[in-house]
Amino acid sequence: MNNIEETLSIIKPDAVERNLQDQIKNEFKSKGFEILNEKKIHITKEEAEKFYKVHESKPFYNDLCAYLSSGPIVVMKLQKDNAVLENRKLMGATNPDNAEEGTLRKKYGISIDKNSVHGSDSLENAKIELDFFFKD
Ligand code: CDP
Ligand code: MG
């Protein structure tokens, strides 16, 4: 049974800064993800605060929002069977030190804050996050 989903992926400033976006996009493509839409943008701190509002109460919230708005990012609408879970698997654990071999965060992540990629954590949040960046 097919279960085609769409999810949001962000290539974060640390990876764009190191010019890893094409390599990371190829990782998605080779795992069977289709990139339906993508754009390179530089968001404001206020936009980052809105995007990460679920983390408002966390001690890392301010630094996280400052970081996501610190440089260009690449936002992508990905499609695949079970895209939400498959993307989370390909990304690996939040902290690159704990991420499994072969995952994007293991390969490219620098630290828990500079962990190279974001991915929606549920189908519900994927819809909200895709709307945030791709609503026409
Ligand atoms: O990104 P993911 O869903 O794996 O993790 P999260 O718990 O939703 O946290 C969002 C982002 O906040 C992470 O990707 C990290 O970049 C950052 N973070 C941090 O800087 N310090 C922490 N202790 C936890 C998360
Ligand atoms: Mg998350």
User: What b/e sequence results for 57-85 when a residue is b if at least 16 CB atoms lie within 10 Å of its CB, and e otherwise?
Assistant: eeeebeebbebbbbeebbbbbbebeebbb
Closest CA to 19 of 97, 74, 70: 74
Structure tokens that stand for 85 in this block? 């879970």
Pocket test of ligand 1: the residue of 11, 12, 52, 64 to mutate, having most ligand atoms within 8 Å of its CB, is 64
Residues carrying an active site annotation = 118
- Show me where the domains of the chain are located: 4-133
Q: In angstroms, what is the C-alpha Rg of the chain?
A: 14
- Tell me the residue type at 120: S
| pLDDT of amino acid 61 | 98
Q: How far is CA 27 from CA 24, 94, 98, 128, 131, in A?
A: 5, 18, 20, 24, 24
Please tell me the pTM assigned to this model: 0.98
Q: What is the pLDDT of residue 51?
A: 98
- For ligand 2, an ion, list residues with CB under 5 A: 121
Which of ligand 1's atoms lies nearest the C-alpha of 114?
Answer: 16
pLDDT in 10s for each residue of the chain, 136 residues = 799 999 999 999 999 999 999 999 999 999 999 999 999 999 999 999 999 999 999 999 999 999 999 999 999 999 999 999 999 999 999 999 999 999 999 999 999 999 999 999 999 999 999 999 998 6
Residue 16 DSSP symbol: H
Q: Which atom from ligand 1 is nearest to the alpha carbon of 91?
A: 4
CATH 3.90.25.10 fits 4-133, yes or no: no
pLDDT at 1: 77
Q: How remote is the CA of residue 1 from the centroid of ligand 1, in Å?
A: 32
